[in-house]
Structure formats: C-alpha cells, structure tokens
Amino acid sequence: MKKTLLFTLLAIFSLGALCQEISTLNYSKWSDPETYKLSPSPSIKGYGFYSDSLSKVFDGKTFFEHNNEYFCIESWADYYYWFTKQYNHIFEDPQLYEYYYLSNDNYGMASYIASNKYLGKYYPSSITLNFDNHNAVNRLDNTDFIAKSEREIKTLRNKLKKSTEVENNEIKHEAPSVFEKEQKKRNNIDRNNNSNNKETMASPDVNTSSKPKMKR
C-alpha cells in the first residue's frame, strides 16, 4: 500500500514537473513539431468541413481551415500562421509573420507573436517564451496574458467571434485548398528569379531620356 502511494505521488510530481517544463518554450523550438505535441493544446482551434477527411489522408495530422484553405498544424509556427490569417484584425502588420514564416525565422515569428503587434488581451496558447539574451519585447515572459480560466477563455472567444460571424455565414463547402509552405516558398523564389531575369534582359535604351522603372 505504501509503495503504491509513494509511486502515485512520484508520478504526480513527475507529471507536474514535466508540464511546467514544456509550458515554457525557447524561441528556437518555435517550428519544432515535437515541442508542439508536448505543449498544452491551444484553446482556439479552427476545424473545417474537410478537416477530418484531410487528417485521414495525411496520417492523422491536424488541419485548420481559413477561407476554404486548409493549414497543416504541426508546430507553433504553423498554428500561429493560421491564427494570424484567421484573426488578422487583432494583429498589426500580420504580413510580417508570413514573411518570417516563409523564411523559417524562428526568432522573427516568436518575437512577433510575443510583441505588442498582437492586440488581443489574451493569447490562445498556454505557453511562455524564452528569448535567451535577445532584447525582445516579450508579453509571454509570464502568464499575465494567458487565458487560464473559463471566463478568460470566453472573453477571448467572444472577441474573436465578432469578426468571423459574417464570414462564416457565407461559407461554401467547395473542394478545399491545402496550404503547403514549401510550395509557396518555391513560388516566391521563382517569381523573384523571373523578375530579376526580366530586368536584366530589358535594359534601358541609351538614346532615350526616360528613367528605368523602379521595382515596386
């Protein structure tokens, strides 16, 4: 009996220590799937009409939906990419996160989310962040901005709900588009290369006084 009680107490203590350890992330683990798996699950999710079907096709992976596009969620980088798309009204310059995301810049992504660029009172995740010796603005250096009670989670959900009510009423269940980060990165690189090639081939006429067009 004593051995059983001792084992139970040890298991509870170990589990508590593990939860405490994995609730604090180093920014370098922002794109790490294993870290995401061990982290507390986010309070805001985005399952769509085809999420279950896509999960079955892609070996049980999680898919969240935005505007009939489905995002594979395997890391905090993926989760907050979807979140900045779905709720872009509570971010300043959300395109910055996309830039960091497509560049695989863990520091850029994590510091953006933890900064004042996020205008929400509470975060949808139950994690805190460690930036080592970087002097980053870090609203996630403690739990003040984490929704810990049902009341706080409800406050967060109500704020997010207001911006999506009209959009959700107009959803049509068409064939879904699955977002692939690597494909989008390759497309961006191809566009840049094509643009550079055109600029090289179309050099300005030396006999004209017009200035070359500037790349926007």
Rounded mean pLDDT of the chain? 79
- Residue 92: pLDDT band (50, 70, 90) is very high
**Residue 34 within a domain:** yes
> For the chain, how many structural domains are there in total?
1
In-domain check, residue 204: no
- Three-state secondary structure string covering the chain: CHHHHHHHHHHHHHHHHHHHHHCEEEHHHCCCHHHHHHCCCCCCCCCCCCHHHHHHHCCCCEEEEECCEEEEECCHHHHHHHHHHHCHHHECCCHHHHHHHHCCCHHHHHHHHHCCCECCCCECCCCEEECCCCCCCCCCCCCCCECCCHHHHHHHHHHHHCCCHHHHHCCCCCCCEEECHHHHHHHHHHHHHHHHHHHHHCCCCCCCCCCCCCCC
Q: How many CA atoms lie within 13 A of 29 on its CB side?
A: 17
In the predicted model, what is the mean pLDDT of residues 131-142?
92
**Average confidence (pLDDT) over 7-11:** 42
- Model confidence band, residue 174 (pLDDT cutoffs 50, 70, 90): low
Is the pLDDT at 206 greater than 80, yes or no? no
In a domain, 155, yes or no: yes
Residue 12 lies in a domain: no
Query: Is residue 148 scored above 90 in pLDDT?
Result: no
Confidence bin at 143 (pLDDT 50/70/90) = very high
- pLDDT digit string (tens) for 26-82? 999 999 999 999 999 999 999 999 999 999 999 999 999 999 999 999 999 999 999
The rounded percent of the chain whose pLDDT value lies above 90 is 59
96 pLDDT above the threshold of 90: yes
Q: Please indicate, yes or no, if residue 7 is contained in any of the structural domains.
A: no
Q: Give the span between the Cα atoms of 11 and 130, in whole angstroms.
A: 27
Q: Which domain holds residue 106?
A: 24-183
pTM listed for this prediction: 0.72
Q: Is residue 98 part of a domain?
A: yes
Is it the case that residue 196 has pLDDT exceeding 70? no
pLDDT at 10: 42
Is the per-residue pLDDT at 209 higher than 90? Answer: no
Q: Which pLDDT score, from 0 to 100, does residue 188 have? A: 61
Q: Determine, yes or no, domain membership for 192.
A: no
Q: Please indicate whether residue 201 or residue 93 has the higher confidence score (pLDDT).
A: 93
Residue 130 lies in a domain: yes
